[in-house]
Structure 1
Amino acid sequence: MRIAILGNSGSGKSTLARWLAQQGAAALLDLDSVAWEPGQIAVARPAAVAEAEVRRFCASHADWVVEGCYAKLIQVTLDFAPRLILLNPGLAQCLDNCRARPWEPHKFASKAEQDQHLAFLLDWVADYYQRDGEMSLAAHAKLFAGYPGTKHELRQQPQLQPAEAQILAWTR
């Protein structure tokens, strides 16, 4: 099982990725962990360093799930012929998910610190549909359209409890 998940912040990438990795006993890579300097969420790593880490991760695991909003880093995974998932549940769902997001201790020292960044995150999520660059809907759609391998665009959050048959089949 090799799966790459792409989408807006709040689209459900992390939730789906964790579930798939657990069900399929696969290694999991959150691209935030390679895109930013450790312990410095606001300091980006050089692109070549991040890309090399993604390539190393994919090459060193038979089964894996990679998730993130970085089109250039997801592009690296495509050399390994994964199933590509574009999560695109719409703005309202992404905003709701961000507001309900549990504390992410790998990104913030406390839930209070995370909550201080919520307004910025909500603006960032809303801008996804208009902005340019690798973390935009335009870049994600272009990458998705150009990928000749197995791919799925999900326009609503997948049901995981109980799991939809299609999603469960991806873990086999």
Structure 2
Amino acid sequence: MQRILVFGNSGSGKSTLAARLRDEQGLAHLDLDVLAWLPTTPPERRPLAESGRAIDEFVGGHDAWVIEGCYADLLELAAPLATEAIFLNLSVAQCQANARARPWEPHKYPSRAAQDANLPMLLDWIAQYPERDDVLSLAAHRQFFEAFPRRKQELTDNAERLASQGRPG
């Protein structure tokens, strides 16, 4: 029974890898972006307890799953039930290239034009990953990864990430 956490910087390929694992292994899939934010402008984080209830509902409703996101605080909530953690620790340059090439994400943006309008902000956000000091940072992801007690792997470039997508379950 696979219960996998996939995490890393924006643009690291979390959604792509999680979707591949979902499709190949028949896993339920949760993108933490959909429950981490309140529907406000400007965006505001949902209270941790509220997001935690949504994670509990998801993991309680599925035997096998993949959860992906960049929120170390939310990953911590699912970690006790996870069997594996995959840290996509690509370079900033690779993450930015992936962000430029990503397809339209209709669950996040009302149109491709809206997503493209957000790209400069996203590229800047990606560039700040190594220096930030929050639950979305390299430091938080490194700490989470090091503390995770079960099977784990760290992938550091696109070639490794793409090769791992074909790994047996």
Is TM-score (shorter-chain normalized) higher than 0.5? yes
- Other-structure match for 1:59: 60
Name the CA distance, whole Å, in 1 between partners of 2:105 and 2:45.
Answer: 18
- Other-structure match for 1:45: 46
- Other-structure match for 1:76: 77
Please list every run of 5 or more consecutive structure 2 residues that lacks an aligned counterpart in the other structure: none
Contact 2:88 2:161 in 1 (8 A): no
- Are 2:167 and 1:168 equivalent residues in the alignment? yes
- In percent, how many aligned pairs have the same letter? 47
Q: Secondary structure at the match of 1:117?
A: helix
Contact 2:89 2:156 in 1 (8 A): yes
1:111-170 residue CA offsets vs partner (Å, 9 max, x unmatched): 11111111100000000000101000000000100111111001122454xx55x8522x
Name the CA distance, whole Å, in 2 between partners of 1:107 and 1:86.
Answer: 22
Q: Which moved more, 1:109-118 or 1:37-46?
A: 37-46
Report the TM-score when normalising by structure 2: 0.92
- Are 2:98 and 1:100 equivalent residues in the alignment? no
Q: Secondary structure at the match of 1:133?
A: coil
- Other-structure match for 1:5: 6
Contact 1:37 1:45 in 2 (8 A): yes
Name the CA distance, whole Å, in 2 between partners of 1:92 and 1:159.
Answer: 15
How many residue pairs get aligned? The number is 167
Off by >6 Å, runs of 4+ in structure 1: none
Alignment RMSD: 1.7
Following superposition, the deviation at residue 87 of structure 1 comes to 0.2
Please list every run of 5 or more consecutive structure 1 residues that lacks an aligned counterpart in the other structure: none
- Other-structure match for 2:128: 127
1:68-91 residue CA offsets vs partner (Å, 9 max, x unmatched): 000011111111032001001111
Following superposition, the deviation at residue 40 of structure 1 comes to 6.3
Report the TM-score when normalising by structure 1: 0.91
